[in-house]
Amino acid sequence: MSQLALVIDLNVCVGCHACVTNCKEWNTSGHAGALADDRPYGEDPTGTFFNRVQTYEVGEFPNTETVHFPKSCLHCEDPPCVPVCPTGASYKRKEDGIVLVDYDKCIGCRYCSWACPYGAREIDEHQKVMKKCTLCVDRIYDTNLPEAERKPACVLACPTSARIFGDVHDPDSEVSQTIRERAGYQLMPEWGTKPSNHYLPRRISHYKIHPDELERADNPLKKEDYQSPDLSEPSLDDVTSW
Amino acid sequence: MQPAFSVIFLTTLIGMGQGLFLAIYTEQVYSLLNVLPHGEKSLFYAIGSAIALILLGLGMIAAMFHLGRPERAWRAITQWRTSWLSREVIVLPIFMGLLFMYGIVHYMNWNIQLIAIGAVIIDISVVIGLFAMIAASLLFLSTGMIYACLKFLQEWHSPLTVINYVLLGSASGFTLSTLLAAIYAPQSVNFYAGWTIVITLLAYLFRYASLIRNKRLRPKSTVQTAIGVRHTKITQKAMGFMGGSVNTRDFFHHKSKAIIALIKHSFIVLVFYIPIVLLSVYIVQPIQELLIIALISQSLGLIAERWYFFADANHPQNIYYQSIA
């Protein structure tokens, strides 16, 4: 069985909210009707979003680091929101593991949102039904779209490629390899929900340069007794060579 | 959690309805076993059942206000295999149906005798009442488990939640039954008053136990596990939006600690102390007004108790919604 999911690279996310706006744009234009969006330019704007980018500060000044943290439904392998639904409107698809809400069956009791520790479900206060990230299920299988565009809207929008989409059950998929090789982790593992979405940790790159990397030991000019200019002198690459 | 008044009224009203039925049925069984004097109490049982039915009906109406799409509420009977909410939706009308039959049998005086064991005569109302009692118990279990089954709401995830739903519902139902008995079946009033005191005391012990338990809880989820960064100091700088959302409104009570403490202490006084004192006085000095005050006090107190029950629960999703700018 496949399990579609997102892998979010916190190392490259710049917190631009492009995924948020593209998600809202795509999902407010779909067959399910507009997503609630009240007073967008007013004093107290509110509305339904499937995806948010949050910002955290790690550490204490001056040793701080900013982490931009996109959060959407994690499409858990063991979703606590599904069994509590009294109507069966909330379900997990067998074929690809996407957790969905049948908007025609939902009675808007909000119990599933209580049962989600991540706050991934937001009720649509106009349609009075629970809504959540669908992994753009109305996009990823659309054969009218070019194959490269059959991805969730948030993935397509990300300017830094911080979002990777694929099947985490396929060990050879890009997402699985990335999770393996770059220590992909899950959120709130303490509840046993086994989220399918993974996050790649921030990495601080240290680059150590040795002196012999600055000056070529095997420079052929040296064999010809060429007097190279001093390191402190200005240089042009094709004239001088250390 | 943000207390939802629809759910507060649903649970307090049906709890009182269930408790009232359990009270009169207990008394009927005691009379049956000749522990209590027999008498013409059919009308009392019928009135009690009718009032319990009204309470359950009002609870159902209150529940409808919780739903975004009440016209689809019938769908909630489908997922009884996994959902305690679905089980509650099924058991509630079954209990109401049995309660209706129980009341009608008493009202019409259909004393159809089924079995006689010595001096104990089991008539049809006893059998219907037995099934209704099972249904009432299952309804208490379902209601409690709706909250107790959510494991990351640590304040609720405890057997104490179910026990408290049973005891608090029963206590309020027994208080109401004492008042009704004072009017319609004065020969049994001390039986009701006595049991009401016992159940209210038990409810006090278990509710207090859950207050102590919840005070000692340490949240399993932290901002570290929520975003998966290992550092002792992590602060949210922006939750991702400037206005509110369902996440900021549904999961937090937005009240000061002083108000929360005030509500906690008020419900302890209103639900437990005042009714226990008034009922004890009533046993010595039967003044009906005492029972009316006890009932009003306990009912108001239970609304506060249920409000506090919601406000007390810390949803881990709040970790993600701490700072706006």
Residues of chain B falling short of pLDDT 70 = 325
Q: Is B285 on the interface with A (CB under 8 A)?
A: no
Query: What is the domain-level CATH number for residue B121?
Result: 1.20.1630.10
Joined together, the tokens standing for residue A92 give: 């997990």
Longest Cα–Cα distance of chain B, Å, equals 78
Reported for A103-107, long-range contacts at CB under 8 A and 24+ positions apart, including other chains, are A103/A32, A103/A127, A103/A129, A103/A131, A105/B72, A105/B75, A106/A130, A106/B68, A106/B69, A106/B72, A107/B67, A107/B68, A107/B69, A107/B70, A107/B72, A107/B73, A107/B75, A107/B76
What is the model's pLDDT at position A238? Answer: 54
What is the model's pLDDT at position B325? Answer: 59
Chain B residues in contact with A128 (beta carbon < 8 A): 68-69
Cβ proximity of A83 and B82 under 8 Å: yes
Alpha-carbon span B8 to B11, nearest angstrom: 6
Q: Which residues, in sequence order, are bridge partners of residue A4?
A: A167
Of B220, B236, B243, the CB nearest to A56: B236
What is the model's pLDDT at position B36? Answer: 74
What is the model's pLDDT at position A209? Answer: 87
Q: How many domains are there within chain B?
A: 1
What is the model's pLDDT at position A220? Answer: 72
ipTM of the complex: 0.92
| Cβ pair A108:B69 closer than 8 A | yes
Where does chain B show beta strands of DSSP type E? 113-117, 120-123, 234-238
Closest alpha carbon within chain A to B73 = A107
Of A47, A56, A115, the CB nearest to B234: A56
CB atoms within 10 A of CB A202: 17
Where does A10-121 show beta strands of DSSP type E? 37-38, 46-47, 51-60, 63-72, 90-92, 99-101
H/E stretch holding A167: strand A163-167
Chain B residues in contact with A109 (beta carbon < 8 A): 66-68, 76, 85
Chain A residues in contact with B313 (beta carbon < 8 A): none
Cβ proximity of B159 and B238 under 8 Å: no
pLDDT class of A241 with cuts at 50, 70, 90: low
Of A82, A107, A190, the CB nearest to B69: A107
Instruction: Return the closest-CA partner of residue A67 out of A130, A5, A145, A12.
Output: A12
Instruction: Return the closest-CA partner of residue A107 out of A94, A88, A83.
Output: A88
Domain that holds residue B43: 5-324
What is the model's pLDDT at position B298? Answer: 97
Instruction: Return the closest-CA partner of residue B178 out of B294, B268, B77.
Output: B294
pLDDT at A31 over 90: no
B274-322 pLDDT, tens digit per residue, is 999 999 999 999 999 999 999 999 999 999 999 999 999 999 999 999 9
Q: Structure pTM? A: 0.91
A175-224 pLDDT, tens digit per residue, is 999 999 999 999 999 999 999 999 999 988 888 988 777 777 777 766 77
Instruction: Return the closest-CA partner of residue B56 out of B134, B155, B173.
Output: B173
Cβ proximity of B293 and B274 under 8 Å: yes
